[in-house]
Structure 1
Amino acid sequence: GLSSPLVGSMIENGILFSGFSYAQHLIKKVTKKSEDEPLSMAQYTLAGGIAGTGAAMLLTPVELVKCKLQVQDVEALYHHANSSAANEVANSTAQNTSRIHYKGPVHVIYNTIKNHGIRGMYRGHMGTLIREVGGGAAWFGVYELACNYMMKSSHIQNKDDLPPWKLAVCGALAGVAYNSTSFPVDMIKSRMQTEDFIVSSSGKKLGQKLGKGFVSTAADIYKSGGIRAFYKGCGITIARSVPSSGIIFVTYELLKRNFGRHEYV
């Protein structure tokens, strides 16, 4: 299941940053601001949410493939649990499901479309949409807020003058904000994508839809462990996001400084 997360990460970051830049351009156009004039924090947050909307459409199929591949080796996942929401769901699924062997991403796509049509690839889309819109707003909103604080405290007028280490700190804070707000939704989404079309101990057959929606899946998770069940593995995920989000934003800002001056694509 490694190739799908890598592809998903590249797609997500590419769409998010492109969408964020273009959303800023549109907001400035609507509000009649010049391209050099900064947006308000509320407008930056809105731009982040708009960027997340576009990302969700392409990410849902990618993450469905990732989740199905991660739960097929339930024994390995049970003994070597990872920090992601998908793997936390895999561990709980491991206790009441039989193994399903996929040869790879293409096999998952073929099997899903064969049994459930194109709509099957968008199982859990509502969760992905909520996560990306809310998470995108938090990610970019907190990043811009932190950068604004850094500029004021250092008496700097332009974000381009902030040193990389300060950009990294701002990016790290953004990563914490993103995962803190989006992790429960991601848990629900991952449960939907892994439990809907797999063989279960209750006798459901492959291809037999269980009929669980977003709200009913959330209710099941709550019944299994209360509010804490939505945050299982969240701490490690946040810790992992601190360096990765910092690196992502530093890379983005340095590339923008050296290869382009426009705020939109």
Structure 2
Amino acid sequence: MGVSAPMVGSMAESAVLFLAYNQIQDIIKYANNMKEDEELATRQLCLAGGLSGAVVSYVLTPVELIKCRLQMQGYLPELSRSGTKHRGPISLFRHILRHEGVFGLYKGHTGTVLREVAGGAAWFGT
């Protein structure tokens, strides 16, 4: 599996996180009739960070689900209904889609959203 899958996941996470953060900052400025070069208050930065965390959770949940299942498949064979070990993330991704549908990729999403909202608010607020 190597380092390629975590790198791709990290790149996607960072791209979505910072794109969302910048867009949300623009929306907050627009909603408060602020100039483009005006600085946001700390509470507004926390809001932008928390909302960007919520957005990025839609990318992170499937990535982390696949990563965790790949790590645990040797310990919990029931994670694979067919009983076969998946050799990598693409194999497991296809398996989840085939057997659980798109919603299967979002198991654990609530926890990821809560973590990312709190983390984003703290990170960008400070």
Q: Tell me the TM-score range normalised by the shorter chain.
A: 0.7 to 0.9
CA distance in 1, matches of 2:124, 2:40: 12
Partner residue, 1:225: none
> How far off its partner does 1:98 sit?
4.0
Task: Select 2:112's aligned residue among 128, 133, 141.
Answer: 128
Q: Does 1:18 align with 2:22?
A: no
Q: How does 1:10-159 map to 2 (within 5 A)?
A: 10-73=11-74, 94=75, 97-98=76-77, 101-142=85-126
CA distance in 1, matches of 2:123, 2:102: 30
Q: Is the contact between residue 20 and residue 48 of structure 1 (CA under 8 Å) also seen in structure 2?
A: yes
CA distance in 2, matches of 1:129, 1:6: 21
CA distance in 1, matches of 2:67, 2:5: 5
Q: Using structure 1 for the length normalisation, give the TM-score.
A: 0.43
Partner residue, 2:81: none
Partner of 1:102, secondary structure, is: coil
Partner residue, 2:9: 8
Q: Is the contact between residue 4 and residue 65 of structure 1 (CA under 8 Å) also seen in structure 2?
A: no
Q: Is the contact between residue 47 and residue 137 of structure 1 (CA under 8 Å) also seen in structure 2?
A: yes
CA distance in 2, matches of 1:123, 1:3: 23
Partner of 2:85, secondary structure, is: coil
- Unaligned stretches of 5+ in structure 2? 79-83
Work out which structure has the larger RCO, using CA pairs closer than 8 Å and 6 or more positions apart in sequence: 2
> How far off its partner does 1:49 sit?
0.9
CA distance in 2, matches of 1:135, 1:58: 15
Q: Which amino acid aligns with 1:6?
A: M
> How far off its partner does 1:55 sit?
0.5
TM-aligned CA distance change 1:57 to 1:19, over 3 Å: same
RMSD (Å), alpha carbons: 1.7
CA distance in 1, matches of 2:115, 2:52: 12
Q: Is the contact between residue 5 and residue 63 of structure 1 (CA under 8 Å) also seen in structure 2?
A: no
Which entry has the higher C-alpha Rg, 1 or 2? 1
Q: Is the contact between residue 23 and residue 50 of structure 1 (CA under 8 Å) also seen in structure 2?
A: yes
Corresponding residue pairs, total: 120
Q: Is the contact between residue 45 and residue 141 of structure 1 (CA under 8 Å) also seen in structure 2?
A: yes
Partner of 1:35, secondary structure, is: coil
> How far off its partner does 1:132 sit?
1.3
Q: How does 1:170-209 map to 2 (within 5 A)?
A: none
> How far off its partner does 1:72 sit?
2.9
TM-aligned CA distance change 1:51 to 1:38, over 3 Å: same
Instruction: Report % sequence identity.
Output: 43
> How far off its partner does 1:36 sit?
1.2
CA distance in 2, matches of 1:98, 1:69: 10
